[in-house]
């Protein structure tokens, strides 16, 4: 008997994109799955569209929140009612290729018990062009759990939620999505899995399409992004501080983000901490000097040069 996969698809006011996303799940070659669509308080045609798919395919299940609770809460609601042995995540603006579930189930079933999750490469669509992701540098990192962990600790998020399939029993052990976070929930889940000494497996074959839409959380920056990075920094400070260069990078990044908000005093304090952690990095001194000239000059300079590079 093939194991059941629960596919969790949260959505909020994206009725115009849902068809592509849902159809790509229903067209999977691996057929033993349930698709749980969680309508996070949408006010558009989402409910009508999902119910049409329910009539066409009984594997489609539907849950509606009376008000929007956020993507993490919506995913967690889906997880709590999931009946599958494995859980996969789909976004309402992305598209799976037909073999995605089949390849991931096969991978997890063939791996030792300590493997909690597998993730796949994907095609990234930007400006009408298609790119294979991860690129060559990240591809090498994805082959090693230790390298993935280090890259995450450095503050990089590069494994999106739709890439993942996880064993449900392990998800219940490491915990669901952090509902305090609006962004980078994929990063947080992976960190908890790796810190609990579980393993993750990379599938090099691209098995889905990532589309960056203007109103998606991944497209947003500004204060939400800065608050998320600060939250992550505090949450994993114990692990981050073990490497002074990694700690320096976080202080530098936070300094940069505060400068973009013209919070000069806070930014300069972070730059000072970054220099203290990594005093041999000349670029940090240059960045700090530029910050002393004021936020307006800093913002102008940051537009013409990659100022965050360390």
Model confidence band, residue 220 (pLDDT cutoffs 50, 70, 90): low
Q: What is the mean pLDDT of residues 212-231?
A: 76
Q: CATH classification of 5-218, choosing from 3.30.70.890, 3.30.470.20, 3.40.30.10, 3.90.550.10?
A: 3.90.550.10
Residue 120 has pLDDT above 70, yes or no: yes
The label of the residue with tokens 């399939």 reads 165
User: How many contiguous H segments (helices) and E segments (strands) does the chain have?
Assistant: 14, 9
What are the helix (H) ranges across 133-281?
A: 136-141, 145-153, 168-174, 185-195, 222-235, 237-240, 244-260, 264-277
Q: What is the pLDDT of residue 167?
A: 98
**Coil, strand or helix: which one is 158?**
coil
Mean pLDDT of the chain: 93
pLDDT at 215 over 70: no
What is the average pLDDT across 135-160?
95
pLDDT (mean) for 131-143: 92
The pLDDT confidence band at residue 255, using thresholds 50, 70 and 90, is: very high
Domain limits, CATH 3.90.550.10, in the chain: 5-218
Euclidean distance between CA atoms 275 and 279, whole angstroms: 5
Q: Which of 99, 105, 103 is nearest to 85 (CA)?
A: 105
Q: What is the mean pLDDT of residues 17-24?
A: 97
């Amino acid at each position: 008997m093939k194991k059941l996969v629960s596919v969790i698809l949260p959505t909020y006011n994206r009725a115009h994109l849902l068809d592509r996303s849902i159809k790509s799940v229903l067209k999977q070659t691996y057929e033993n799955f349930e698709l749980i669509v969680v309508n996070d308080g949408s006010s558009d045609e989402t409910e009508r569209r999902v119910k049409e798919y329910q009539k066409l395919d009984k594997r489609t299940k539907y849950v509606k929140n009376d008000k929007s609770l956020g993507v993490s809460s919506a995913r967690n609601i889906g997880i709590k009612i999931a009946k599958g042995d494995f859980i996969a995540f789909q976004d309402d603006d992305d598209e799976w290729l037909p073999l995605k579930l089949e390849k991931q189930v096969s991978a997890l079933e063939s791996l030792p018990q300590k493997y909690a999750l597998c993730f796949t490469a994907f095609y990234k669509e930007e400006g009408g062009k298609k790119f294979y992701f991860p690129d060559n540098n990240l591809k090498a990192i994805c082959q090693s759990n230790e390298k993935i962990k280090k890259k995450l600790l450095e503050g990089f998020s590069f494994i999106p939620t739709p890439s993942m399939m996880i064993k449900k029993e392990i998800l219940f052990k490491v915990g669901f999505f952090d509902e305090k976070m609006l962004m980078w929930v994929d990063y947080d889940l992976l960190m908890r899995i790796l810190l609990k000494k579980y393993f993750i497996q990379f599938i090099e074959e691209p098995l889905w399409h990532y589309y960056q839409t203007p109103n998606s959380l991944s497209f947003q920056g500004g204060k939400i992004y800065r608050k998320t990075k600060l939250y992550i920094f505090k949450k994993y400070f114990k692990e981050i501080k073990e490497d002074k260069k990694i700690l320096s990078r976080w202080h530098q990044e936070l300094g940069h983000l505060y400068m973009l908000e013209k919070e000069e005093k806070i930014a300069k304090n972070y730059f000072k901490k970054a220099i203290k952690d990594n005093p041999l990095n000349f670029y940090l001194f240059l960045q700090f000097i530029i910050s002393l000239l004021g936020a307006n000059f800093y913002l102008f300079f940051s537009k013409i040069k990659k100022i965050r590079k360390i």
